[in-house]
Amino acid sequence: MTTRLWRGGRLATLAGEQGWGLVDDGALLVGGDGLLQWVGPSADAPAADAVVELGGALVTPGLVDCHTHLVYGGNRALEFEQRLHGASYADIARAGGGIKSTVAATRAATEDELLAAATKRALALRAEGVTTLEVKSGYGLDAATEARMLRVARRLAGLGLDVRTSYLAAHALPPEFADADDYIAAVCLWLPELHREGLVDAVDAFCEHIAFSPAQVARVFDAARRLGLPVKLHAEQLSDQGGAQLAAGYQALSCDHLEHLSPTGIRAMAEAGTVAVLLPGAFYALRETQLPPLAALREAGVPIALATDHNPGSSPTLSPLLMMNMACVLFRMTPEEALRGLTVNGARALGLRDRGQLVAGQRADFCVWDGGHPRELAACFGHNPLIERVFKGNRGEA
Ligand code: NIG
Ligand code: FE
């Protein structure tokens, strides 16, 4: 089994619960099993079959984008213009645009067309250091198209990314259903078959006045629980629906968006160990003014993750680095919180404990950046300093 030593880098290991975990002139030993065998100062590094000199470059864990809607047809630039002319996201949704217009375009697209479009997007994320990517369904809203979306998401793993899928059929009410409760029954009915096909890692829903009520979401979560699947929730994005406390009651992996999160919701998330996934791209694009309650989340000890929320409507970005910058400038997160949000806490939001920190035993997924200090990643924007992205995962090579 060959081993490879990467040495002479400035490591931001993110070891422990806080701090950058900096190792100046550090080294990583990667085993043939794709795991980190050893991390520490280059001077103390063990022997290896092959050695790569990092030349003082910055090394961080590979980025984890834990919330995306990467697979879809069409685009929504027209809606962007409509919002600039004063229409709100909710107005557009109520008028049958928004998510529903992407549903029409996605239903009309073949699996290969969806894959070609999603591949370009995944490659853009990969080029900014993403090694693990979550992809949601939710633009099919019928059994066949939801399955097609999830199959396309699985096929993205061929690009050398680790892909996790979330079933988000409870995203909007499709035109063929007049009654939301009837649709929720169908959403619950489709799930076991998709799960049997191995297409679902988690179950998500959109709890909002323009989407589904907590009672409806609870029915979807009950269906997930019957199959032993973890849940997550688009919660309190536009209003406080009490979705966070509902999700926490199901030990949700994460609640996402959260601009209108209440103190009760925060307490429930803290008790359940649910991760708060903040999405500055959607906040920015929708010109939201209500900030997520960052100080209260910190105080309660809720882990905070960050993601692109890439989707054609509210967050058409493919830049995790820009999300770091926006999280700092708009939400006042620290650069360290932003990097933890896109690595170790992003992984936690997917239920993954084997990545996101550069410590022995974790997967050897890491990024090499042109920079000296990790805070530089959050300080810059519109610029990609990635030199190399190493994804070992379970690929069994050194
Ligand atoms: O995470 N909030 C709901 N879902 C997506 C947006 C989907 C869309 O507008 O197409 C989100 O922002
Ligand atoms: Fe989303």
Considering the domain architecture, whether residues 289 and 181 belong to the same structural domain is answered as: yes
Phi, psi of 328 (to 5 degrees): -75, -50
Residue 361's domain spans which residues? 4-61+357-395
Identify whether residues 275 and 321 lie together within a single domain.
yes
The mean of the pLDDT values for the chain is: 97
Residue in 391, 385, 372 with CA at minimum distance from that of residue 25: 372
Same domain, yes or no, for 315 and 388?
Answer: no
Specify the residue with its C-alpha closest to ligand 1, atom 9: 313
Query: What does the alpha-carbon distance between residue 294 and residue 174 come to, in Å, rounded to a whole number?
Result: 34
If one residue of 171, 173, 256 were mutated to test the ligand 1 pocket, choosing by the most ligand atoms within 8 A of its CB, it would be 171
Do 33 and 130 lie in a common domain?
no
In the structure encoding, which two tokens stand for residue 325, read together? 């910058």
- For residues 273 and 304, state if they share a domain: yes
Which pLDDT score is estimated for 191? 98
For position 393, what pLDDT does the model report? 78
- If pLDDT is split at 50, 70 and 90, which confidence band does 394 have? low
309 lines ligand 1 (CB under 6 A): yes
Domain identity same for 282 and 204: yes
Q: What per-residue confidence (pLDDT) applies to 274? A: 98
Q: Are 310 and 195 contained in the same domain?
A: yes
* CA–centroid distance, residue 361 to ligand 1 (Å): 36
Three-state SS for 14-32 is CCCCCCCCEEEEEEEEECC
Whole-number Å distance between alpha carbons of 232 and 167: 10
pLDDT digits (tens, 9 = 90+) for 213-237: 999 999 999 999 999 999 999 999 9
Contact 357, 344 (CB under 8 A): yes
Amino acid type, 314: S
SS3 275: strand
Residue 282: CB within 6 Å of ligand 1?
A: yes
CA distance 350 to 12: 22
Overall domain count for the chain: 2
- Band (pLDDT 50/70/90 cuts) for residue 396 is very low
- pLDDT tens for 339-354 read 999 999 999 999 999 9
Residues 391 and 369 in one domain: yes
CATH code: domain of residue 387:
2.30.40.10
Residues 71, 116: Cα–Cα separation, whole Å:
10
Question: The domain spanning residue 276 has which CATH number?
Answer: 3.20.20.140
Specify whether 276 is located in the same domain as 371: no
Query: 47-105 pLDDT, tens per residue?
Result: 999 999 999 999 999 999 999 999 999 999 999 999 999 999 999 999 989 999 999 99
Which of residues 348, 365, 384 is at a domain's end?
348
Which ligand is nearest to the Cα of residue 283, counting in written order? Answer: 1
Tokens, residue 140: 């099919």
| Mean pLDDT in residue range 129-156 | 98
Tens-digit pLDDT profile for residues 157-170: 999 999 999 999 99
Domain end marker among 331, 348, 365: 348
**Do residues 181 and 324 both lie within one domain?**
yes
Q: What is the pLDDT of residue 182?
A: 98
**How does pLDDT run across 252-305, given as a tens digit for each residue?**
999 999 999 999 999 999 999 999 999 999 999 999 999 999 999 999 999 999
Task: Say if residue 142 is exposed, middle or buried (CB neighbours under 10 Å; 0-12, 13-18, 19+).
Answer: middle
Task: Report which ligand 1 atom has the smallest distance to the Cα of 237.
Answer: 2
pTM of the model: 0.97
Please, what's the b/e burial string for 143-166 (b: 16 or more CB within 10 A of its CB; e: otherwise)? bebbbbbbbbbbbbeeeebbbbbb
CB-ligand 1 contact for 272 (6 Å cutoff): no
